[in-house]
């Protein structure tokens, strides 16, 4: 195969329980992530490689839908790093040329994991271009190790759906039954750096109770969870407009409420700067997007999805991802 398209979804953390900083600099994290129908699309092509060139990778990004352009050199793009590190891990030292086009709909520095998802998509796309069998457990272990080395959020996107992860939020623990509900994402113009959010967390870590921990571990489906994110106060401290957005969403008609606690189902996406709200139905989500835009915020509606980063079937093969893409 010399040409693939790879679906690259966004994520939210339905539950993000950060513990104290570890000696390796990372924080422990029990994270339950859910993939969204909002997605980027990667087009990857293998081209003629000049003799003696080694591996040549190039990346081009096009942004769509009012999101800021990603003005970074190709070598800084995490999709570039993914392909180079996978080639190294697999011992592929020969001449090769891989061109990656990224159509970006997911805003960056938004807590939606767009870069991490692009990295997972690039790993799967490279495997398809190189005819690498991911059913082989040895190969799969190499791909998962490369994913984890690229960033804590990357391994999730190899799975997708709704997944609980442990350690630093990168080790798969179990699947939960995905949700089919409507989601609205709202964000201000500014982003939040993940590293800065973790540093602010360290100043006064709001550690979770045993009850919160037990509750998350008992949940079997996404819809059973009580939304939780103890990184949110740190991000709100860094970017006070996040408090305004949370309070505004929490008081908006059409936002769903937790059946047990009665709390509005509104939460910061990971380290921010997006906030998500779960809505009762599509009409409520549509109205919420319009109202948020009137406040000057970026807003989109989408759905939870059971997909992850996925190489799309070539023409003639059946797929259910079309339904996912039409939903936003």
Ligand X SMILES: C[C@@](CO)(OP(=O)(O)O)[C@H](O)COP(=O)(O)OP(=O)(O)OC[C@H]1O[C@@H](n2ccc(N)nc2=O)[C@H](O)[C@@H]1O
Ligand Y SMILES: Nc1ncnc2c1ncn2[C@@H]1O[C@H](COP(=O)(O)OP(=O)(O)O)[C@@H](O)[C@H]1O
Smallest distance from the beta carbon of 267 to ligand X, in angstroms?
11
Query: Which of 26-34, 77-85, 142-150, 235-243 is the region at the interface with ligand Y (rule: CB under 6 A)?
Result: 77-85
114 appears as a binding residue in the annotation:
yes
Distances, alpha carbon 229 to alpha carbons 1, 183, 192, in Å: 42, 17, 15
| One of 77, 235, 265, 301 touching ligand Y (CB under 6 A) | 77
Distances, alpha carbon 304 to alpha carbons 11, 32, 58, 65, 249, in Å: 9, 13, 32, 20, 19
Q: How big is the chain, counted in residues?
A: 328
29 appears as a binding residue in the annotation:
no
Look up 168 and say whether it is catalytic. no
Selection from ligand X, ligand Y, none that 195 binds (CB < 5 to 8 A by kind) is ligand X
CA distance 132 to 142: 12
Binding string, 147-166, against ligand Y, x = CB under 6 A? --------------------
Asked if residue 35 binds ligand Y (CB under 6 A), the reply is: no
Look up 153 and say whether it is catalytic. yes
Smallest distance from the beta carbon of 253 to ligand Y, in angstroms?
29
What distance, in Å, lies between the first and last C-alpha atoms of the chain?
30
Reduced to 3 states, what is the DSSP secondary structure of residue 11? strand
Smallest distance from the beta carbon of 94 to ligand X, in angstroms?
30
Smallest distance from the beta carbon of 121 to ligand Y, in angstroms?
9
> How many CB atoms sit inside 10 A of residue 23's CB?
5
Asked if residue 125 binds ligand Y (CB under 6 A), the reply is: no
109 appears as a binding residue in the annotation:
yes
CA distance 246 to 299: 13
Task: Give me 116's structure tokens.
Answer: 């991490």
Task: DSSP letter for 179, please.
Answer: P
Q: What angle do CA 273, 279, 284 make, to 5 degrees?
A: 110
| One of 6, 110, 121, 147 touching ligand Y (CB under 6 A) | 110
Q: Which residues are catalytic?
A: 11, 153
Annotated binding site for ATP: 107-117
Which residues of the chain form contacts with ligand Y (CB under 6 A)?
70, 72, 76-79, 102, 108-116, 118, 194
């Amino acid at each position: 195969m010399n040409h693939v398209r790879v679906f690259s979804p966004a994520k939210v953390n339905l539950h993000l329980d950060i513990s104290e900083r570890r000696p390796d600099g990372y924080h422990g994290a029990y994270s339950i992530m859910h993939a969204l129908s909002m997605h980027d699309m990667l087009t990857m092509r293998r081209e003629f490689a000049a003799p003696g060139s080694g591996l040549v990778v190039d990346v081009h990004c096009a942004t769509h839908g009012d999101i800021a352009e990603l003005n970074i050199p190709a070598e800084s793009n995490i999709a570039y790093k993914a392909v180079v590190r996978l080639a190294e891990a697999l011992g592929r030292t020969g001449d090769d040329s891989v061109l990656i086009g990224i159509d970006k709909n997911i805003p960056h520095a938004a807590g939606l994991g767009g870069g991490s998802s692009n990295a997972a998509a690039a790993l799967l796309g490279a495997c398809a271009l190189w005819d690498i069998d991911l059913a082989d457990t040895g190969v799969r272990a190499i791909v998962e190790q490369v994913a984890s080395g690229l960033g804590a959020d990357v391994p999730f996107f190899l799975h997708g759906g709704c997944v609980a992860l442990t350690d630093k939020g990168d080790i798969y623990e179990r699947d939960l039954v995905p949700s089919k509900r409507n989601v609205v994402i709202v964000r201000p113009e500014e982003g939040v750096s993940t590293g800065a959010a973790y540093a602010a967390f360290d100043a006064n870590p709001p550690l979770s109770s045993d009850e919160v921990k037990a509750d998350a571990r008992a949940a079997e489906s996404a819809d059973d969870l009580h939304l939780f994110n103890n990184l949110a106060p740190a991000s709100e401290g860094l970017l006070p407009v996040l408090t305004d957005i949370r309070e505004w969403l929490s008081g908006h008609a059409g936002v769903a409420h937790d059946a047990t606690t009665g709390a509005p189902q509104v939460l910061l996406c990971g380290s921010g700067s997006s906030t998500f709200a779960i809505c009762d139905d599509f009409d409520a989500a549509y109205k919420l997007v319009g109202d948020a835009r009137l406040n000057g915020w970026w807003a989109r509606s989408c759905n939870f999805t059971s997909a992850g980063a996925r190489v799309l079937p070539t023409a003639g093969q059946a797929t259910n991802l079309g339904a996912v893409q039409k939903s936003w």
